[in-house]
Amino acid sequence: MSERRDRAAWFEGGDAKCDDIPSPKGRPYRLVLLGPPGVGKGTQAELLCKSLGTCHLSTGDVFRAAQCQTDHSPALQAALEAMRRGELVSDGLVVSMVSERSGCLSCRGGFLLDGFPRTAAQAVALDELLEQQDVGLDAVLSYELPLGEIVDRLSGRRTCSKCKAVFHVTARPPQKEGVCDLCGGQLIQREDDRPESIRVRMRAYEESTKPLADYYQQSGRQVPIRAEGTPETILERSLDALQTLAVSPKV
């Protein structure tokens, strides 16, 4: 995505203000993205934000940016320490971190949440935060792809052993087989990109996210999107689904 907003309020939390307030291209959408690894959710997030003129609020971006900062809130500091120990960040810590940035949820440009919520408890907390900001969630776009295609996509990834750049044997092959275009390092298949590892991860993902999917399905907010085809085709499906939603969001 070429137009990257500064998102200072999201990265820093507290009293931080964004220099560039987004102007939605139409009504401001407030969305959550769901989907397992390999469905192209990150690509869709960028395309959707560009098409809708909304802001991409990724919890992963917050954690990555925090690695380069020294001044953290207690919640973010505790979350980083848990990650360094290889532990899962608790629902309470994640919710606290998002709560510190809850002003972003009422941004006039809308938002696209990526990476949060991950559990039903986090989804309940998000609804409470949205109510406090006097806004509503328009939809939860759930990107779906058959397991076999997910395995094919992820097992074809190759990662540079030096600079960690990522290639794909068919979708994004290097100029020279097995050699990184950027630094000349050796391209390897990570252990978690092997087919047997991917299937284990997918089973774990489905088990852990089922309560979350059930929560949004029961409230009628989950919208399934087929993640087959080109990124542009999938984007068109997503935009068509949004146009046909019968919702009455708060503004």
Cα angle: 110, vertex 145, 173; to 5 degrees: 95
Q: Which residues contact 178 (CB under 8 A, 6 or more apart)?
A: 158, 186, 187
Task: Give bridge partners of residue 188 from the DSSP assignment.
Answer: 159
The answer to whether 158 is a known catalytic residue is no
Catalytic residue among 5, 118, 194, 226: 118
Residue of 7, 41, 158, 237 marked catalytic:
41
> Is the CB of residue 64 less than 8 Å from the CB of residue 94?
no
- Does the annotation mark 157 as catalytic? yes
- Which of the following is catalytic: 7, 30, 101, 157? 157
Burial of 48 (0-12, 13-18, 19+ CB in 10 A): buried
Q: Catalytic site residue 176?
A: no
- Token readout for 172 is 């994004």
Catalytic pick from 190, 194, 199, 226? 190
Find tokens 């087989």 and name the residue. Answer: 177
Is the previous residue joined to 173 through a cis bond, with omega within 30 degrees of 0? no
- Containing 112, the helix (H) or strand (E) segment is strand 111-114
Look up 201 and say whether it is catalytic: yes
Q: Which of 5, 199, 201, 226 does the annotation list as catalytic? A: 201
User: Does residue 190 have an active-site annotation?
Assistant: yes
Q: Which residues are catalytic?
A: 41, 118, 157, 190, 201
